[in-house]
Structure formats: structure tokens, C-alpha cells
Chains A and B, each alone.
Chain A
Amino acid sequence: MTAKASRSLEELFTAWGVTCHEFRQQSQVTIASGMFLSAMAQLRDEAGFDMLTDVTAADLLEYGGEDRYRVVYQLINTTSGKRLEVRVHVNDPEPRLPSMYPLWKSADWLEREVYDMFGVVFDGHPNPKRLLMPEEFQSFPLRKDYPVKGRGERHNFPVITRAES
């Protein structure tokens, strides 16, 4: 892996035809979902980003713009200390992305959390289940069309009396 850490980020970005956005000394790059898997593999193997520190998403329903979900990956090169934020957009009705688990093991729970909260499905994930919400939960709570107070899940809890239990 380290032997191939040769190509600079600029070279990779030019090859992909993307531009890097800088905000407060942070590099943010948006990658099309079609080339996402190969791009991430190149980032790990050729640019030396060996740690995936965070995966999260945002529902852009009320934000404006064409895309519905933004999935954000935070990468670190532990040798040079360089960080990179990779964004990829997915849309309804079937928000899907390839899982990063084969590349970075930390993607396991982080992707499960994104699925749990936003309903983005990660293809190839070894254990694609909800992480925080109960298995039988129907909605995806961090989507913007899900109300803050919930949809009555809490109020409709079945009440079991002592006699019945």
C-alpha cells in the first residue's frame, strides 16, 4: 500500500476532472457516484489515505440544490497528517452507494448509522442492519421530512400490565 503512494492529490483530481474546494484550510472534493468506488480505492492506495475517520450524511431537502442526500467521508493520511473530505450525492427513490468496508474497517458501524438515520443503502456491507434504532422501526429519523417529535412511535408503545406479563 505504501509502495504505491506516489500520485499527488492534484494529479488524481485532474485525472477525475474534479476541483477541490477549500474552506478554512479544509479540502473538500465532490465525486460523482459512478466513479466513487474506484476513486476511493485510488485515494487509499495511491494518495496514502489510510484512515477513514468519519462517515456521515446530510439530507439536503430544505437546503436547495438538485440532490437529496450528501454522504460525507473524512479521510486522513496518518503519515503526512493530511485530511480530505470526500462528498458524494445520492438520490431517491433508491439511494445507494458501494460500501467502503473492504477498504477501511471503520466504515462498518459508520455506514450502518448512515443507513439507520438516512436510509442510504451500502452495497456489499457485511451486516447491513440498523445500528441505533430498533430493528422494526420504519422511518429514517434524520431525514428532513421526519418530524422532530416523531410520528407517534413513543405514544403508541404497547402497554403491558403486570397481569399480562
Chain B
Amino acid sequence: MPLNLLDADSDTEFAKREGLWTLNFGPQHPATHTTLRLVLELDGEMIIDATPDIGYLHSGFEKLGEVLDFNQYVTIVDRMNYISPLANEISWHHACEKLLGLELTPRCSYLRTILAELMRIHDHLLCVGACILDLGGVTSMFYCLNERERIFDICERASGQRFHTSFTRVGGLLYDVSDEWLAMVKDFIKTFPSTLKDLNRMVMKNRIFIERTQGVGVLTREEAISGGATGPVARASGVARDLRRDEPYLAYSDLDFDIVCATGGDCFARFQVRMLEIVESLKIIEQCLERVPKGPIFAEGSGKEALPDKREVYTSIEGLIHHFEAIMPNRQMQPPRESLYAYTESPNGELGFYIVSDGTLRAYRAHTRSPSLIHFALFPQLIRGCLLSDIVAVLGSLNIIAAELDR
């Protein structure tokens, strides 16, 4: 793309655009938070058109997915939406398990549900916090980061890693969690609501925040459906779809929770939906904690899909043989030679994986349907007619994660 859009145009186009100026926003700009570029055409401070230019973080994840096996690729999937890494892992292995036809054990599905909802809180906190930081409110950001830190601790206790946990495995989890871990989560959901209350007062009742976001970047219901929007972005525009309720996976069908919807379709509505979803997530985690059953965490299949418990591998000959059979490419089980598209409700929207299987435990093609890509495509139509300073509000409300955008 030419640096100056005016260079590429003919004389008549130039005459029409007289008085307009072009501004290059990014790829390295603190308010984009990640590496993405916008070429803006402005009339004074009014945005006439915006042309996103993406691909700066493209690192060929999908090509790597064709070389690594289902369990190895999870470390790459982690790095897509790095604001909520575990949500990606759960989604990826959900797709693998659906392909293999594995049924999760009750304990595993409850633990994964808790983790998925913790990640939703994690993601929404950063989304709201970072946006209010861009809009000039520094304090609330630290409230968000402080609570995120506690979720990092919870991840660390479970998996040994704070950030890129790589915690899920095909048919189970890397380790079972201890009772102390469950107590840690319980402690979090007990103390977090008071911070959330403060945060709500500071953000959603903040006059500056409301005036900067209300009526800005309006996405109508029809545009949301035609544009493929999902998750909080779609729900803020009145599309009452949530995969957790509509096509339940994990333990969601047993749980009681509400789908948060708004009708405004503007930035404020998107943040409102996110803040209220945090409350629903807390409700879900609370119910899960009461019901987490005891039992194995790895699914029972033909015995070759799921890895055996690490303790067994190190201490018994059967465990070692089991591990060998599950790991060696010529002895592994064979998934059907089919393809499928599986999806979960990630914090950002529908995160789907399309796997073409050639009968090995390595995907022939592993495509990611990333919500950020779809939502960023909506950006030019949202920002047209807004002011230059509204960019941060709209970008923040869509929660664009460049690593997921470019993959």
C-alpha cells in the first residue's frame, strides 16, 4: 500500500479530495496496543475513510498447524489471543476431541468451564481497562491489572505457567488440580465482586467515559449479522446469540446463567455487555465450584487418544507403554478421514477451528476462524464520520488482538 493514498489516485479523484489530509496511524502506536496500521483520510478532525492494513504480526500459525500434532500445536494456539490464552487452548482441543469423538470426563469439563470463565473475566478486564486508559482514566487500569494478576496466580498454580499455560491436552488436562487450587478460585470469586463494584462505578458511571463512548461507532443489528459479528460485539447490537447457550459444550448445559444483551450497538453498549458478562461468569464459576466432581481427568476412549497421567508414566510399566502407544506416530490411534468445523464462545466471540484430517493425529489443515479478523473488518464502517479521537474508543471496544488477527 502506498504510504500516501493520494499518490495512487487520478487527477479527478484528487480534486474531489481537496482539503482532505491523510494520517498514518500505526503500525507502532501506543493506542493500537498491538501492531496494526490504519491509513486515515480526514477532513479536519472528521474521519472520512479508514483503510486498515494488517499482517505485521503474521507468523504462519496455520502452516505450523500442519506440521505439529494436536498436542504440540496447543503451544502455538496459546499465542493467538494472548489476552486469554486458555480460551484458545480449550477451543482447539474441543475441535480435536470432536473430530476424534471423545467424550470428556465430568471433572475435566467442569474444570475447563471454570478456566474458560476465568479467561473471560481476564479478557474483559483488560479490554475495559486498556480502553479507559486510552481515554484518559489511568486509575481503573490498575484495578483491572491487579485482579488479572490474581488470575495469573491461579493459572500458575494449576499449570506452572502464568501466561502461556498450554494446559489442555487432547481428552483432558495436563495435571489434575488440587483442592487448594479450588479454594484459590473460591477466594477470588468471593473478593472480586467488591473490586468489580468499584470498577463499575469508576468506568460505567464516569461521565467522561460515557460521553466519549455513547453514540460512537454504532453497529446496527443488520450490519452485525451481515458482517459476521459474534460475541460481545454482536450482543451489544441486539443479536442474542451465545454459543454457550445455543450450542452448549463443556458443562454449560447444566449451569444457570443469563445471556447479556444490549441494543445500543455503540461503544458504550459493548463495554456494558462486557462488564455484565463478568458478573455472569462469576455466577458460572460459583456453580461449577459447588459441583466439580471427583474422578479422572482424561477421557476413556480406545486408550490411545488421551495421554496417561504423568505419575503413572514415571512409576509403572503399563503407564509407560500407554504413553508410548499414544505418542509414537506409527502406533497412535487414527482419527476419521473427515473434516469438521468446531467452535466455542471465546471472550471475543466465536473462535472456531476448521480441521481437515488425513487420518493422523496431525491436522492436514488447521484453520482458525478468529473473531478479531471479522471484527476489525467492520472497523472502517464504524469509524466513518467519527472524530480522530474516537479511534481509540472504537478500537478498544472491538478488542482487536493483532496476534489473533494476523496469526
CB 8 Å contact bits of A128-165 with B (1 = contact, 0 = none) = 00111111000001100000100000000000000000
Our pick among A54, A78, A108, A148 for the contact of B341 (Cβ within 8 Å) is: A54
B225 adjacent to A132 (CB under 8 Å): no
A52 within 8 A of B: yes
Tell me the nearest residue of chain A to B352, going by C-beta: A54
A148 adjacent to B63 (CB under 8 Å): yes
CB 8 Å contact bits of A109-125 with B (1 = contact, 0 = none) = 11001000100000000
Complex CA–CA separation, A62 to B341 (angstroms): 21
A132 adjacent to B98 (CB under 8 Å): no
B55 adjacent to A142 (CB under 8 Å): no
Complex CA–CA separation, A62 to B239 (angstroms): 41
Complex CA–CA separation, A59 to B63 (angstroms): 12
Report chain B residues within 8 Å CB of A81.
Answer: 241, 246-247
B356 adjacent to A63 (CB under 8 Å): yes
| Shortest distance from the beta carbon of A22 to any chain B beta carbon, whole Å | 10
A106 within 8 A of B: yes
State which of B132-140, B326-334, B361-369 sits at the interface with chain A: B361-369
State which of B226-234, B269-277, B300-308, B311-319 sits at the interface with chain A: B226-234
Number of interface residues of B (CB under 8 A): 43
Tell me the nearest residue of chain B to A58, going by C-beta: B365
Our pick among A24, A63, A141 for the contact of B340 (Cβ within 8 Å) is: A24
| Shortest distance from the beta carbon of A150 to any chain B beta carbon, whole Å | 8
B63 adjacent to A133 (CB under 8 Å): no
A142 adjacent to B377 (CB under 8 Å): no
Tell me the nearest residue of chain A to B224, going by C-beta: A51
Complex CA–CA separation, A110 to B352 (angstroms): 14
Interface of B is mostly: mixed
B63 adjacent to A56 (CB under 8 Å): no
B225 adjacent to A74 (CB under 8 Å): no
A105 within 8 A of B: yes
Select the residue from A56, A59, A70, A72 with max chain B CB neighbours within 10 A: A56
Our pick among B239, B336, B352 for the contact of A78 (Cβ within 8 Å) is: B239
Report chain A residues within 8 Å CB of B336.
Answer: 23
B356 adjacent to A113 (CB under 8 Å): no
A109 adjacent to B374 (CB under 8 Å): yes
A135 adjacent to B63 (CB under 8 Å): no
A26 within 8 A of B: yes
Complex CA–CA separation, A148 to B55 (angstroms): 18
B183 within 8 A of A: no
Our pick among B60, B228, B340, B367 for the contact of A56 (Cβ within 8 Å) is: B367
B15 within 8 A of A: no
A33 within 8 A of B: no
A85 adjacent to B341 (CB under 8 Å): yes
Identify 6 new A-B residue pairs, CB closer than 8 A, beyond the known A26-B340, A51-B226.
A23-B339, A56-B354, A63-B358, A113-B373, A135-B1, A148-B66
**Subset of 24 A-B contacts with CB under 8 Å:** A23-B336, A23-B339, A24-B99, A26-B340, A50-B226, A54-B354, A56-B354, A58-B356, A63-B358, A70-B356, A72-B339, A72-B354, A74-B369, A78-B225, A81-B241, A81-B246, A81-B247, A105-B227, A105-B228, A110-B228, A113-B373, A132-B58, A142-B63, A142-B365
Which A residues fall within an 8 A CB radius of B? 23-24, 26, 28, 50-54, 56, 58-59, 62-63, 70, 72, 74, 78, 81, 85, 104-106, 108-110, 113, 117, 130-135, 141-142, 148
Nearest first, the 10 closest Cβ-Cβ pairs linking A and B are A106-B228, A132-B55, A109-B377, A58-B365, A54-B369, A56-B367, A132-B58, A105-B226, A58-B356, A105-B227
